[in-house]
Structure 1
Amino acid sequence: MGIQTDSSVIDSFFSLPFPLMIASLLIVGIVSRLLWNRFRKDLRDIPGPKVAAYTGLWRLLDIRTGQAHKNAIKLHKKYVPLVRIGPNHVSITDTRQIDHIYGMKSKYTKGKAEPHVFTMRDPTVHRESKKTLANAYSPTSLLAYELAVDECINLLLYQIEKLASEKKPVDLGAWMSYCTFDVIGQLSFSRMFGFLEKGCDVDKIIETIDIVLTYASHCGQLPELHKFLLGNPLLPGGAMNQVVEFALKSVNKAAGRHTSLRKKGELDALDIESRGDMLTKWYALNQNGSQWMTTKHLVAHLSANVYGGSDTIFIVLRFIFYYLGKNGDKMRKLVDEIDGAAVAVKFSQPVSFKEANTHLPYLNAVIKEDIRIHPSTSLIFERYAVVGINPWVTYFIPERWLDSTEEQLKRMEQSFFNFSAGSSTCLGRHIAMIEMSKMIPELLRRFELTLTYPDREWKTKNVWLVKQEGLICSITKRP
């Protein structure tokens, strides 16, 4: 009798109109998938928002608020130390797990696969590519090109002085971004992009990157949608292509000079090294047939410089000046240190990285503390095996960087995750430290900077990076 009932059910199903049959199958498939997500053996006991265990829609809606970094902190206060934030995603706050997840011998791989080093999944490919790039990002190579950075800082100071003479509030945050973009232009192509000269968003590249980050942070929560959206070869790449075209245009403007690098048909090593910029070094590898620096790699790495070599740095700079403006005692202490060292050491014009790093310990402490409180990146650094750490939620509150014991400093350094960790440590971290160590003391030794609206909170929005609006300053030239 039971068999007859089952047969009748099957017969009834196949007697349904075809569209209704397909709809029924889809519903059954969706429900089955949701239930499998929720009750998968390895994650079902990890606490978190109930809906998040069933579908990535919870993460998407969280990202859409623009405050996912703050929401993550709230979740970890409630569910410390593990929070299940998606069917396949677990956020971790335990800093002891950093090396386990991101270390050189980690079994966890990245969740995305792109041609540039930040998102490569294959460990071997990632390692070889990073070795190819490492020389250009080394402190030695970057400091050999420090005069190019000085050009940008001097132009920034010139523009800020003109604005100060007008005695009007200045959007210092915007000028931070203009300077970092022109610095990465110098380091990558031996030419500024023109942001500082024109005082605007050249080719709307900053706006374009915001669009790309918004898309990536949203679509990244439901990555299966990408192949139907910008990953669809039948659709135009839009904003993503625009960044590549921006990099290509810079490559083309610089490419002509490479004819002068050839002697008897060969690339001249000494000339290449004297140029210093990344395009020249990587172009030489390309011409010498490196499998890790094909034309595709060359364009991808230079585009990644435009993406990642500017936004992350000016975000930190904005936070630093914002919190210095909110904390007058710390601003005064830093200015006093800069003034005292400038007199005693006779700083260069502008101050060199070596001078700042050697004689401005409080500046270094301010940079580290501000990065600790508000890192640029704000979503978890995902790994394919469903785990990740969000740098906004990893940190305990330490003693001041200058007052801590040796053991405390060691723990703090081990927990410092703002440039990622292990094999994925950011190659551009030295660029960031050089820019900040030079730009901050130069601005503060020449100008008095105060927040025009000290009681007004600025706006922040999380689109993978935490973008800010509202660093409006009153600026007076110091005697």
Structure 2
Amino acid sequence: MHPVIIVYAALAALIAKFFHFIYTTLTSPVRDVPGPFAARFSKLWYVFAIWTGKAEQINIELHRKHARDGEYYAPVVRLGPNMYSISRPEKAIYGIGSKATKSSWYDTWYDPALEPSLFPDRDPQRHANKRRMFQSMYALSSLLHYEKYVEAVQSIFQERLSEISCDGKQVDLHHWLQCYAFDVVGNITYGRRFGFLDEGQDVGQMITSLDSVLKYATFMGIFSWAHRWVYKYSSNLPGMRGGGLPYLASTVRKELDSRIAQRGKEEKDGGRVHDLDAPRDFLDLALDAEKDPDKAMTMRHVYAMLLSNVVAGSDTTAVSLSSVIFYVARDPRVLARLREELDQAVQDGKATPDCAAFRETQDMPYFQACIKEGLRLTAATGLPLWRVVPAGGVEMLGHYFPEGTEVGINTWLAHYDQTIWGQDVAGFRPERWIEAQEGDGNKLKVMDSNFMPFGLGSRTCIGRHISYLEMCKVIPMIFLNFDIELVNTKLTTENHWFVKPTNFAVKLRRRQN
């Protein structure tokens, strides 16, 4: 074909695309939704918002800026072409049974050559099937299996904190909480710690690799159509190839292969002997389930969940722990009331200064309120939970959203809504939860429906109970044994999906009774 014809054809295609864009913009039922002018034409505005590390604050400010008289938030704002941030967790989008699916943003969270793990799987039926396979291993009733694994790590963590308190130097407590969370994940999943608390540093570059995964998936997800090619051909670029995902995957594969070989040897030597009273790690339970024909589970499913535990099981817990501990330590009134409750539990024989049983912590209402308030103020994720409007479209929040439109609510937006939480929405006040519980139930119902630290609906984080177990175990130990002096009185964060503290510097001292 003649080169001139090719040029004219390409030019004609561009012109046609331009006029199609103008037409759809002018006739779209959501054309009047407010937002940045640049966001009408390109996703680059949204990319820049994430690049700043403050996307959750920009999201909140945008809804406040475009709010009409009498509104705290504008119900809908535009973040990009066909991308809209909503201010309420609408049931039509997030409710159980909703036909809205996750957007293509989630596709970059897994190797495109493999089947997706639970978190990024956009197929509702396949996701439901996988969730059923592993539900019992993550259920609240299964926590007793894992509590001993948490306690073993916590004992070592307490030793490290004692050493730090004697040294008197300033430390980054978030880093140490991430070391704790990583070692707990290792112990629960594989029956052995990764060694972060022993080294006090990034063992095997796992934290660095995970940070790389987060940034790669977050930014590439905006242009997910390119993921298949970028992931495949970027292996020679430093820090690329899925942003460290292959490294984490190889670590998981080694653990899985080692356990399979160990079990094979045990069976060859006369069979495995189970101590019925001994705790069993996640991998052991998963390999047993894989042999159960009723589960329809394959080794690929086992591998995918093991990888998910590593990718999602440490950062989120460390963020949540950092938030609760920071805000309690900053407020002498809250600290005194919490310690009064914890000290009483010790006096009543329900706990020791070194260890509180998970069951007993459920009967500590102020402690539980502190956890909820910490999760509210610093949600671990800080970008909209993107969903695709299903066939037939959806009418909500005063607008009609056509099929294929991407909509999402940012957890931070919901957690800082003054109409839900009161005028002191930015303050750490655990009492708000107790007051709501003591009321007629309506206020608590509204709060709970807008409280989403672990996601929403059928896509709620499957590992939330394990994270909750870790918080219920380690926070009492810290405040019963140590005084925390904050170097900074404001918790600053950086958001590239997970909202990580950047200045949680403290000085620790043994608690003075």
Partner of 1:391: 411
Q: Is 1:144–1:276's contact at 8 Å kept on the other side of the alignment? A: yes
- Structure 1 segment 86-165 matched on structure 2, within 5 A: 86-95=80-89, 97=90, 99-112=91-104, 113=107, 115-165=116-166
CA drift of 1:354 comes to 0.9
**1:117 counterpart letter in structure 2:** L
CA drift of 1:85 comes to 1.1
Q: Verify: 1:284 aligned to 2:288, yes or no.
A: yes
Q: In structure 1, how many angstroms separate the alpha carbons of the residues matched to 2:141 and 2:269?
A: 29
**1:472 counterpart letter in structure 2:** A
Structure 1 unmatched runs, 5+: 1-13
CA drift of 1:105 comes to 0.9
Partner of 1:438: 473
Q: Verify: 1:186 aligned to 2:187, yes or no.
A: yes
- Structure 1 segment 73-84 matched on structure 2, within 5 A: 73-79=60-66, 80-84=74-78
CA drift of 1:218 comes to 1.1
2:434 is aligned, of 402, 405, 414, to 402
Q: In structure 2, how many angstroms separate the alpha carbons of the residues matched to 1:140 and 1:263?
A: 33
Q: Verify: 1:361 aligned to 2:348, yes or no.
A: no
- Describe the shift of the 1:341–1:293 C-alpha distance in structure 2 as closer, same or farther (beyond 3 A): same
Partner of 2:70: none
Q: Verify: 1:240 aligned to 2:245, yes or no.
A: yes
Q: Verify: 1:61 aligned to 2:93, yes or no.
A: no
1:323 is aligned, of 321, 327, 331, to 327
Partner of 1:411: 446
Q: In structure 2, how many angstroms separate the alpha carbons of the residues matched to 1:208 and 1:83?
A: 34
Partner of 2:25: 38
Pick which of 431-440 and 247-256 moved more.
247-256
CA drift of 1:290 comes to 6.9
- The TM-score, its normalising length taken from structure 1, stands at 0.89
- Structure 1 segment 417-436 matched on structure 2, within 5 A: 417-436=452-471
CA drift of 1:407 comes to 1.8
Q: In structure 2, how many angstroms separate the alpha carbons of the residues matched to 1:47 and 1:309?
A: 37
Q: In structure 1, how many angstroms separate the alpha carbons of the residues matched to 2:10 and 2:307?
A: 44
Q: In structure 2, how many angstroms separate the alpha carbons of the residues matched to 1:441 and 1:317?
A: 11
**1:125 counterpart letter in structure 2:** R
Partner-residue secondary structure (3-state), 2:434: coil
CA drift of 1:368 comes to 0.5
- Describe the shift of the 1:38–1:365 C-alpha distance in structure 2 as closer, same or farther (beyond 3 A): same
Pick which of 338-347 and 385-394 moved more.
338-347
- Describe the shift of the 1:427–1:156 C-alpha distance in structure 2 as closer, same or farther (beyond 3 A): same
- Describe the shift of the 1:324–1:281 C-alpha distance in structure 2 as closer, same or farther (beyond 3 A): same
Q: In structure 1, how many angstroms separate the alpha carbons of the residues matched to 2:5 and 2:235?
A: 30
**2:433 counterpart letter in structure 1:** W
Q: In structure 1, how many angstroms separate the alpha carbons of the residues matched to 2:57 and 2:243?
A: 31
Report percent identity of matched pairs.
31
Q: From the CA coordinates, give the structure whose radius of gyration is larger.
A: 1
Question: Deviations along 1:410-451, whole A, 9 cap, x unmatched?
Answer: 211121111112111111110111111110000110111121
Partner of 2:488: 454
Q: Is 1:38–1:44's contact at 8 Å kept on the other side of the alignment? A: yes
Q: In structure 1, how many angstroms separate the alpha carbons of the residues matched to 2:97 and 2:460?
A: 14
Question: Deviations along 1:334-355, whole A, 9 cap, x unmatched?
Answer: 1222112211234144111111
- Structure 1 segment 304-323 matched on structure 2, within 5 A: 304-323=308-327
Q: Is 2:103–2:122's contact at 8 Å kept on the other side of the alignment? A: yes
CA drift of 1:16 comes to 7.8
Structure 2 unmatched runs, 5+: 67-73, 111-115, 390-405, 423-430
1:378 is aligned, of 367, 382, 390, to 382
Q: In structure 2, how many angstroms separate the alpha carbons of the residues matched to 1:363 and 1:261?
A: 45
- Describe the shift of the 1:234–1:289 C-alpha distance in structure 2 as closer, same or farther (beyond 3 A): farther
Q: Is 1:34–1:55's contact at 8 Å kept on the other side of the alignment? A: no
CA drift of 1:29 comes to 5.4
**1:150 counterpart letter in structure 2:** E
Partner-residue secondary structure (3-state), 1:222: helix
CA drift of 1:100 comes to 2.4
Partner-residue secondary structure (3-state), 1:45: coil
Poorly superposed stretches of 4+, deviation over 6 Å: 263-268, 270-273
Q: Is 2:209–2:243's contact at 8 Å kept on the other side of the alignment? A: no
**1:340 counterpart letter in structure 2:** Q
Question: Deviations along 1:62-108, whole A, 9 cap, x unmatched?
Answer: 1111110000001111231111212121111124x1x3212221010
Q: Is 1:258–1:280's contact at 8 Å kept on the other side of the alignment? A: no
Q: In structure 2, how many angstroms separate the alpha carbons of the residues matched to 1:299 and 1:233?
A: 24
CA drift of 1:314 comes to 0.3
CA drift of 1:263 comes to 9.0
- Describe the shift of the 1:63–1:432 C-alpha distance in structure 2 as closer, same or farther (beyond 3 A): same
**1:403 counterpart letter in structure 2:** E
- The TM-score, its normalising length taken from structure 2, stands at 0.83
The total of aligned residue pairs comes to 460
**2:413 counterpart letter in structure 1:** V
CA drift of 1:196 comes to 0.9
1:47 is aligned, of 34, 38, 41, to 34
- Describe the shift of the 1:125–1:191 C-alpha distance in structure 2 as closer, same or farther (beyond 3 A): same
CA drift of 1:400 comes to 0.7
Q: In structure 2, how many angstroms separate the alpha carbons of the residues matched to 1:449 and 1:434?
A: 22
Question: Deviations along 1:262-286, whole A, 9 cap, x unmatched?
Answer: 4999888x66995522211222233
Partner of 1:294: 298
Partner of 2:263: 258
Q: In structure 2, how many angstroms separate the alpha carbons of the residues matched to 1:337 and 1:367?
A: 14
Q: Verify: 1:465 aligned to 2:465, yes or no.
A: no
**1:87 counterpart letter in structure 2:** P
Question: Deviations along 1:366-388, whole A, 9 cap, x unmatched?
Answer: 11011112200111111122121
Q: Verify: 1:249 aligned to 2:254, yes or no.
A: yes
Q: Is 1:37–1:55's contact at 8 Å kept on the other side of the alignment? A: no
Q: In structure 1, how many angstroms separate the alpha carbons of the residues matched to 2:326 and 2:153?
A: 22
